Amino acid sequence: MQALSDSGHPGVAYQIAAQRTYPSWGYMVTHRATTIWELWNGDTTDPAMNSGNHLMLVGDLVNWFYKNLAGIRPDRAQPAFKHIIMRPTPVGDLCTVKASYNSSYGKIASDWKIAGGRLICNLVVPPNAAATVYVPAKDKAAVTETAKPASELHGIKCLRTEAGAVVYENDSGSYSFESRVSDS
């Protein structure tokens, strides 16, 4: 999941997680699996050669949910979430994600939804921490924070625009970014 996302294919990773046909975790769920199988086709192979309780695979999937879908990522240069990389990733038909993590600095939260072609992204950066925030948008003029141009607010500094995102540096606090993600 992480390798697909890191190489520019988060949509394929989401498809593997969400689809109900083989091969996917959804396939396992539709075939009454309550844990992850060792093999994608665990229901058709020799049961002696397949573990039906492979928790090590869940670590990658859950980690992917937090780091990619919710966008809560540690900054390796500043351990323990002193500085957070917030990069929510809308993919496929997914229209809402809500996640939080209790760091040593306090609660980090990412709660986003897509409605009417707009992304509404509520983020929490805990006290004594800061975050680099990637807001999916075409340009900084398309991004607001609590209905005001994000680049004009105290505690938010626009760093750059890059492929599909406007990048900000944020102080601790609660933020509500909004941007247009489609023309609908």
Q: What is the pLDDT along the chain (184 residues), one digit of tens a residue?
A: 889 999 999 999 999 888 999 888 888 888 888 777 777 777 887 776 667 666 655 567 888 999 999 999 999 999 899 999 999 999 999 999 999 999 999 999 999 999 999 999 999 999 999 999 999 998 888 999 998 988 788 889 999 999 889 999 999 999 999 998 876 5
pLDDT at 17: 86
Residue 145: Cβ within 10 Å count? 22
The pLDDT assigned to 45 comes to 77
- Give dist(CA 81, CA 153) in Å, integer: 23
> What angle (nearest 5°) sits at the alpha carbon of residue 60, between those of residues 136 and 49?
145
Counting every residue written for the chain, the total comes to 184
CATH assignment, 71-180: 2.60.420.10
Structure tokens at 161: 């625009």
Contact predicate 88/121, CB 8 Å: yes
- Report the candidate in 1, 44, 53, 54 with the shortest Cα–Cα distance to residue 22: 44
CA 2 to chain centre: 11
Rounded distance, CA 16 to CA 24, Å? 5
**For the chain, which residues make up each domain, given as ranges?**
2-59, 71-180
Contact predicate 72/88, CB 8 Å: no
